[in-house]
Chain A
Amino acid sequence: MAAFKYESQVRAPLVEGTKDYHQVTEDIIRPIEGPPSRLWWIGFIISVLLLLFGVYSVYREVTYGVGQWNLNKTIGWGWDITNFVWWVGIGHAGTLISAILLLFRQGWRTGVNRAAEAMTIFAVMCAGQFPIWHMGRVWMAFFVLPYPNTRGPLWVNFNSPLLWDVFAISTYFTVSLLFWYSGLIPDLATVRDRARVKWRKYMYGILSFGWTGSTKHWQRHESLSLVLAGLSTPLVLSVHTVVSFDFATSIVPGWHTTIFPPYFVAGAIFSGFAMVQTLLLVTRKVLHLEEYITIEHIEVMNKVIVLTGSIVGIAYLTELFMAWYGQNKYENWAFMENRLNLFSPYGWSYYLMMGCNVLSPQIFWFRKMRRNIFITFFMSILVNIGMWFERFVIIVTSVYRDYLPSSWSTYYSPSIYEVGFYLGTFGLFFTCFFLFAKFFPVIAVAEIKHILKKSGENYKPAAEKVEQQSPDTLYEEVTHHH
């Protein structure tokens, strides 16, 4: 009679300390119930100020036109598409953690999935801003929707990667939001049932949709989560594939390569995990959740970072090789002269990208480094800088010298409003994240309880050692499920 499957003693506990179910509730929900700390207010106010600066930058851009940005003859896509791809990439880790790792039955995802999914949603919200405001006449944005209109009806071009992007990003946002919120409902009900203050009971009563915890509902909930995970897994891979098509289906030297989809997806997971590390290292400290987001979790994510960073590295080298081997002189120029040549105008950005994305994560081959919080934090920032420059390199170095050398002289550097727009999305992202961390449980309470008696530090030793059982006993247990 085992309500919980055994877990190998080799695996470190995922929940540290002596806990019972009630203690888990206390630890995770307590921060929601108190007043926000001073640190929270400081962070929140800075985020809102950044957001306001972003709003002003966008106001300038809408009022005076895209000319407020320093785009020029050859660089029609500057910082804003760089930022778009960067944010979308960051928005990949959450669904990867919650969907793919659910399918692979990775128990450690339970500690980090909720915050990572929230991060995904906020990152995709930030990403969406860039193509929308880049339209210039943003009041025409609804033209991208295929609806029966009075202009013919004139339909959108379903063969265009830019339209695929519209579908991919909006689907991804919707699905991530539904996945995240359906997981939140039981935990919001926990907050509701603990509430002593009237307004909190009322608010969380609305938010938790009247969840009771009925066995039948849980059964459906589990099935729903599994199917959503199954659907999100190809979805998360498709989204960055489609983003890469924006470039790969064009015939611009430097973009026109078949390696882009896998290379973009690996890069997205890479930068997403780095952002998860940045946020969670701070969150666990501030909310005292070190026993739920353990060094073990951090180490596992660092392993993902070194893996995906190396995949990205292989992709960079493959691109270079193909540029040389392919003997197309324009592509060769884009890679050898515009990127690899350190003394070309943007050569520095290529080496910055290589250093941050390929070389620096290699220190995570060492266990000591993977388990060092400060190194991890520093590396997570470095990776995000590197991944931003990857997109900058792809976009700017491919187009700043086109086929007409007379338009080469202009050096692209962003205007204050381009930078302001980018900072504004940081403001949006962190404003949302601060609100989330204050009002929602940042760790999936029900899911932690689900693994507690299997992976909790005080329960693990009591469980029979799976390694010492005979295969027959194990078979018996696996096949006789209650």
Chain B
Amino acid sequence: MAEKKFVVGSFTEENVLFEAVKKVRKAGYKLHDVYTPFPIHGLDKAMGLRDTSIHTAGFIYAAFGTTTALSFMSWVFTKDWPMNIGGKPHFALPAFIPIIFEFTVLCACVGMVLTFCYICQLAPFVKKHHFHLRATDDLFVMAIECTPKTDENEVSGFLNSAGAREINIQQAETGWWLGTYDKDKKPFETRN
């Protein structure tokens, strides 16, 4: 993977951060990401990220679970090995409901968590570049990606005027977890 350059600045206040994100987008810099110690509601919107569709994946897994459980139990009790249990019907839908429900939930949860780990590239032993160690403590760390045209000093000055502290330039190897923005050469602003 290619090495890329980033101008990194940290913020301490949410309000300053929000303003800074606006300014960066307006100026047309390539906002790589903002790293925060906790979820800040509205920041994704401010950065122009689209909504996640992980819940759609959850629905698909759930539907898979429901159909698998229902069809499997029906097949076992009507085709493969019909058992006479007190003369009750072989296809006993009400009695199948608990297992159908449990299996639906199981598939949805396991599937979603695995999907989450996959798309965020989270797994034991995964090594990633951490722009600032306090991004998991009390700082909001903004990374702006440098394109061949970017003047690093200009961006640093810009971040400084936007209220960032500890501004520095870092080299990082880009795995695809570093952002799907990698494929996108357009400036951040023009995307919705």
Is A223 positioned at the interface, with any CB of B under 8 Å from its CB?
yes
Contact residues of B: prevailing secondary structure:
helix
Q: Is the CB of A158 within 8 A of B76?
A: yes
Contact residues of A: prevailing secondary structure:
helix
Residue of B nearest to A217 (CB): B120
CB pairs A–B below 8 angstroms (14 shown): A1-B15, A21-B138, A146-B72, A153-B80, A158-B77, A158-B99, A171-B102, A189-B136, A190-B37, A207-B124, A214-B34, A224-B113, A228-B113, A446-B39
Is B60 positioned at the interface, with any CB of A under 8 Å from its CB?
no
For B105, what are the chain A residues with a Cβ–Cβ distance below 8 Å? 171, 175, 231-232, 234-235
Residue of B nearest to A156 (CB): B76
Choose from A158, A171, A175, A482 the contact partner of B42 (Cβ within 8 Å).
Answer: A482
For A453, what are the chain B residues with a Cβ–Cβ distance below 8 Å? 14
Q: What separation, in Å, do the CA atoms of A220 and B88 have in the docked complex?
A: 46
User: Please, what's the 1-or-0 string for A153-170, where 1 marks a CB less than 8 Å from any CB in chain B?
Assistant: 111011101011001100
Interface residues in B67-112 by Cβ distance below 8 A to A read 72-73, 76-77, 80-81, 83, 85, 88, 92, 95-96, 98-99, 101-103, 105-106, 108-110, 112
Q: Is the CB of A164 within 8 A of B40?
A: no
Q: Is the CB of B136 within 8 A of A155?
A: no
Q: Is the CB of A231 within 8 A of B83?
A: no
- Stretch of A178-186, A267-275, A348-356 contacting B (4+ beta carbons < 8 Å): A178-186
Q: Is the CB of A213 within 8 A of B37?
A: yes
Residue of B nearest to A191 (CB): B136
Choose from B38, B49, B108 the contact partner of A446 (Cβ within 8 Å).
Answer: B38
Number of residues of chain A lying within 8 A (CB) of chain B: 68
For B112, what are the chain A residues with a Cβ–Cβ distance below 8 Å? 224, 227-228
Is B4 positioned at the interface, with any CB of A under 8 Å from its CB?
no
Choose from B44, B80, B96, B121 the contact partner of A219 (Cβ within 8 Å).
Answer: B44
Report the minimal beta-carbon distance from B168 to chain A, rounded to whole angstroms: 17
Is A209 positioned at the interface, with any CB of B under 8 Å from its CB?
yes
Q: Is the CB of B88 within 8 A of A223?
A: no
Q: Is the CB of B99 within 8 A of A164?
A: yes
For B179, what are the chain A residues with a Cβ–Cβ distance below 8 Å? 214, 216
Q: What separation, in Å, do the CA atoms of A20 and B138 have in the docked complex?
A: 8
Q: Is the CB of A210 within 8 A of B116?
A: no
Choose from B92, B113, B127 the contact partner of A210 (Cβ within 8 Å).
Answer: B127
User: Please, what's the 1-or-0 string for A214-244, where 1 marks a CB less than 8 Å from any CB in chain B?
Assistant: 1111111111101110011011001000100
Q: Is the CB of A215 within 8 A of B35?
A: yes
Residue of B nearest to A186 (CB): B136
Q: Is the CB of B138 within 8 A of A22?
A: yes
For B52, what are the chain A residues with a Cβ–Cβ distance below 8 Å? 216, 219-220, 223
For B102, what are the chain A residues with a Cβ–Cβ distance below 8 Å? 164, 167-168, 171, 235, 238, 242
Given A25-B138, A158-B77, A238-B98: A213 touches B121 (CB 8 Å cut-off) = no
Is A481 positioned at the interface, with any CB of B under 8 Å from its CB?
yes
Is A290 positioned at the interface, with any CB of B under 8 Å from its CB?
no
Report the minimal beta-carbon distance from B129 to chain A, rounded to whole angstroms: 8
Choose from B51, B99, B125 the contact partner of A167 (Cβ within 8 Å).
Answer: B99
